[in-house]
Amino acid sequence: MFSRPSLIARGIAAATLATVAGAASPALSGAGDKAFFEQVSGQWKGPGEIVAGKYKGTKFTCDLTGEAADGTAGIKLDGHCRVGVFKQPMSAVITQAGKSYTGRFLDGADGKGLDIVSGNVAKDKVVVGINRKKLNGAMIARLQDPSTLNITISVKVEDTMVPVIGVRLSRELDNIAVGSIKK
């Protein structure tokens, strides 16, 4: 059995995948997918909460950096999430594989992480299938605006998808110049 911090960290990790996860849809594959990953590249921070299950009500914060893949649609994510005094490193790699994507969070389902097994990228949203042994689920990440990414992780319970984690990430805007200069 996994410890509470380990289970919480795994759930948080699944949520953070949304900043990097994706898969092709026939209408938007290729350049559209690559553009989405470029949009979600960069520095993201924000709070999240486990909204269902044994650890319902557990709050956490994440600090993540995404970098678009070179030459193909995809992204690499590094950073951490914190639950109280527990800090969990986060990493993910997503790469295009034909008309879909493959990837892993941490060391994948064979280790302590998750596998990305399917997905779809639309203009401002990505939906991916996630898997770990008997756990099947989905992650939806919607770019609300250029500086806000909303993420929902759901797991399949019998024939129903049940939301279990919600995250709201924001970009660091301090380093972005705004306004104009007048003489």
Predicted TM-score (pTM) of the model is 0.76
Q: Which residues does 161 contact at the CB level (< 8 Å), separation at least 6?
A: 137, 138, 154, 155
**Range name among 9-13, 34-38, 89-93, 94-98 with the lowest pLDDT average:** 9-13
Distance of CA 136 to the CA centre of its chain: 16
User: Which tens digits make up the pLDDT trace of 144-171?
Assistant: 999 999 999 999 999 999 999 999 999 9
**pLDDT given at position 22:** 35
pLDDT at 1 over 80: no
Query: How far is Cα 140 from Cα 125, in angstroms, rounded to an integer?
Result: 7
pLDDT at 17 over 50: no
Do residues 6 and 112 touch, judged by C-beta distance below 8 A? yes
**pLDDT given at position 5:** 46
Q: How confident is the model at residue 181 (pLDDT cuts 50, 70, 90)?
A: low
- On average, the pLDDT of the chain sits at 79
Q: How confident is the model at residue 100 (pLDDT cuts 50, 70, 90)?
A: confident
Q: Which residues does 98 contact at the CB level (< 8 Å), separation at least 6?
A: 24
| Cβ-count burial 28-37 (b if 16+ within 10 Å, e if not) | ebeeebbebb
Supply 8's token pair.
Answer: 């919480």
Q: How confident is the model at residue 40 (pLDDT cuts 50, 70, 90)?
A: confident
Q: How confident is the model at residue 128 (pLDDT cuts 50, 70, 90)?
A: confident
User: Domain 4-171 falls in which CATH fold?
Assistant: Lipocalin (2.40.128)
What residue spans define the domains of the chain?
Answer: 4-171
Phi-psi category of 26—alpha, beta or left, where left has phi over 0 and alpha has psi -120 to 50?
alpha
